[in-house]
Amino acid sequence: MSEKIVQTAGREQLGEFAPMFAHLNDDVLFGEVWNDTGIDVKTRCIVTVVSLMASGITDSSLTYNLQNAKAHGVSKEEIASVVTHAAMYVGWPKAWAVFRLAKEVW
């Protein structure tokens, strides 16, 4: 079994302002969904990067998730292949944006 995923950013950054959102982020998304055993963490990281790419989200959350993917065993070659494949379905400019950040992470 892999290491349990724990996140506290919700409470640290939004706990007083939006306590319900902080709870859902830390306890449900990361506490339950990320720790579900239906797929491994490496695959979950890839799905998350592609989901952000498809949504056009290229802010610090994408950078964080690229770093998380690398930390959970996604190689430079794998992320390059994943982003290239996804580009055919979600858009070429989105792939360029992801590659710009991925190059910094790897």
Mind listing the pLDDT tens digit for each residue in 25-74?
999 999 999 999 999 999 999 999 999 999 999 999 999 999 999 999 99
Domains in the chain, CATH or no CATH each: 1-38 (no CATH), 41-105 (1.20.1290.10)
- d(CA 52, CA 55) in angstroms, rounded, equals 5
According to the per-residue pLDDT averaged within each range, which of 16-25, 30-39, 90-99 is highest? Answer: 90-99
* Whether the predicted pLDDT of 1 surpasses 60: no
CA angle 40, 45, 46 (to 5 degrees): 100
Q: Is the pLDDT of residue 79 over 50?
A: yes
Burial class, 29, CB count within 10 angstroms (exposed 0-12 / middle 13-18 / buried 19+) = middle
Kindly report, residue by residue over 6-16, the tens digit of the pLDDT.
888 788 898 89
